[in-house]
Every structure is written in C-alpha cells, then in structure tokens.
Amino acid sequence: MQILRAAEVGLLNKLLKNNPVVAILGPRQCGKTTLSRQFSSQYPSQATIFDLENPRDIQRIGEPLLALESIEGLVIIDEIQRAPDLFPVLRVLSDRSVKTKYLILGSASRDLIRQSSESLAGRISYLEIGGFNLNLVGYGRTEKLWIRGTFPRSFLASSEAASYQWRQDFIATFLERDIPQLGFSIPAKSLGRFWRMLAYYHGQIFSASEIGKSLGVSDHTAQRYLDLLSGTFMVRQLRPWYYNTKKRIIKRPKIYFRDSGVLHALLSLEEKKDVLSHPKLGASWEGFALEEAIKALQIKEDEAFFWGVHSAAELDLVFEKKGKLYGIEMKYAQAPTLTPSMRSGLRELSLKHLWVIYPGKEEYPLGRNVTVVPLSSLEKIKIS
C-alpha cells in the first residue's frame, strides 16, 4: 500500500522552480524515497536515480563529475550524507546547466551536513518531512498512528506484533549501522542506554547533569548524545521562549520523541493495552499531538518554543506567525478547563490566541482568545 503525499509533491515543484538543488531531509524509513519516486513520475523523461546504499550505484558515481555532467532532467541522489564530497560537484554542475535539477535525500539534519552543504549556498532549498501524519492517513486512524508511530512500515504492518518488531529492528539498525555511517564513533550500547533513559524524559525538561550522572558520563557527553539524536530526527529539543521579564524563566530545552511508536518501543510497550496502562500515557499522547500540530500548522523547527517559568506556569508550544504570538496546550483529558498556567501565559506573553488540543470530539471556547479543539480538527486552527 502506498499513500500519495500530494502536499509534499506540490512543495517540491515550487522549490525546484527556484533552485537547482532541493534536499529532502528526514529520518531513515520515513518515506523520502517514496516521495521522490512520486515526484519523479510527473517528469516527461525518466529520472536518473543513484542510491548510495547500493554498491552498484556507488561505483556508477565513483567519478561524480564524469557520471553526472552529461545527464539532463531530474537527478535523484539518495542518502547523500554518505558522500559529502558530492556537494562541491553539485555546485559546479548546477552552475553549468539549467536543464538539470537535483533532488538529494538525506537522513541527517542541516546541522549535521552543514559543513558539506555550505558549498551549495544560494543554490539549495530544503524540505523536511517525517513519516505519515493524520492528514495523510485520515483522522479515523488517529489511535493507530499514535500507538504504532508514523513510520510507514510500522503503521502499515499486518499486526501490532509485527509493527513492534519492525520498530525494535529499526532501533537496532539505527544504533549499529546508521550512526557509524554518519561518522560518529559512539558505542551502540552507550547510545542505546542513553536513548532508552531519555524516553523517561519525554515531555520534560532535559538535565544533562542528571542523566549523565545516571549513565556515568559527563554533562558534555550527555548533551552530545542528545544533539546527535536531534540531528537524526529522533528527538525534538523544544527551546524555551525568551522575553523581557523579572520572573525566573526556564532556560533548558524540553524533550519530545518525534515518533510515538519509537517511544513506545523504547519503553517496551508492545501493544495498545500496554500503552494505555503505562505512567507515560498522558505524556505520550501529548507529544504525539504536539508533533501533529507542528506539522498541520507548518511550524519550522526554529519557530517552535515552549514557555515556562520556575513558578510552574507553563505552555506546551509557543510560536510566532505574521508578527503575532500564539500558544497551544496539549491536554489528555475529556474536558479541559482554563488553568492558572494558561491564564498566566495569556497575560505574560500577550498571546493573540491560545488553543487547547484534546482527544475529544467537540470544539468549544474556554474564554476570550482561548479555544478547545479536538486533535481530529486541527485544520480548524486558523492563523489570522
């Protein structure tokens, strides 16, 4: 089964009109290759594809300038992070010809490939994607997407057991193969222990000293591990919103797993009933809702923040659009009410509007500029 990612295909069309090179970035197995094939099907001539995990394609592109300079149309290069020496070549080729467009796919963030991709400055645009989302699979499958996660093979697996096994295999492959291929010499067992411990910090403030002490590593090493998991799209570091205030604001990031299915696998939650009886139930759902809201509202990573002060007042998500500040709170509750934290956030930040996302079915106002919205109705959130 293949789900058409029409919105992303449309974005790629726009980006390639203005840039000779577009990079699709996202975690391994999230659907980047499928998206590139869907996009290439609209080209009048067949695209030329290089998969840098395929030994044959690695040989084909052994002399990159010779291999690529005579190709016209669309060139797709998959797993570009495995050949950083290609970036200068693409700069030369993109300056030579307007008849060729390059679509490069990578499993590492711009921060991790920045040194290599800087040679393409002014010639490259980026599209970051994740796995499936509610808009793609339909809101009738919300619970399944939450429990199994957004990776296509996990979501589409024939059973809960098969989905869980796929995620366990994904975690092992990520630690034992993917991280070394990115050039990091970190013992798989050490990073795996950190990753599993980090699952218990999901939805909480990250403390490098606390987790480092538990693992017997330095603060610096703990932060390095976290940055690596962030750079490979496994974890989101939500930064605090800074503003002028006399109150003591929180300055450390909040940690969320980008994929709820991977979170559940790291917590050894094999089935739906395991998730529903676990202490992390509420935090798991709220993290899932947070990611869906960020996708639905197209909030870029550097635009997403949380707000918190040491007096315990907090808002899950704060973002700026059209010069106005907005807030979103996630509540795993049947009937959310207006809390002191929400009142404090509205007052302190002068929010244009605050939405409260919950798993129910009815939309209703909580007060002036505060609206409760079901997760299944994210499309009703409008930025004015």
Q: How confident is the model at residue 174 (pLDDT cuts 50, 70, 90)?
A: very high
pLDDT greater than 80 at residue 45: no
204 contacts: CB under 8 Å, gap ≥ 6: 254, 255, 283
pLDDT digits (tens, 9 = 90+) for 67-118: 999 998 999 999 998 888 899 999 999 998 888 999 999 998 877 776 667 7
pLDDT greater than 60 at residue 246: no
What span, in angstroms and rounded, lies between the C-alpha atoms of 299 and 196?
27
Count of residues for the chain?
A: 384
Contact assessment for residue 39 and residue 64, using Cβ atoms and an 8 Å cutoff: no
What span, in angstroms and rounded, lies between the C-alpha atoms of 218 and 234?
22
Crossing angle (nearest 10°) for helices 188-198 and 208-215:
130
For 363, other C-beta atoms within 10 Å of its C-beta total 12
What does the mean pLDDT of the chain come to? 92
What span, in angstroms and rounded, lies between the C-alpha atoms of 28 and 151?
9
Of all residues in the chain, the percent with pLDDT exceeding 90 is 77
What is the domain partition of the chain in residue ranges? 6-128, 137-380
pLDDT digits (tens, 9 = 90+) for 275-326: 999 999 999 999 999 999 999 999 998 899 999 887 677 999 999 998 899 9
Q: Which CATH class is domain 6-128?
A: alpha beta
Q: How confident is the model at residue 1 (pLDDT cuts 50, 70, 90)?
A: low
Nearest to 20 by CA among 83, 118, 85, 97: 97
pLDDT for res 119: 82
Structure tokens given for 284: 């798991």
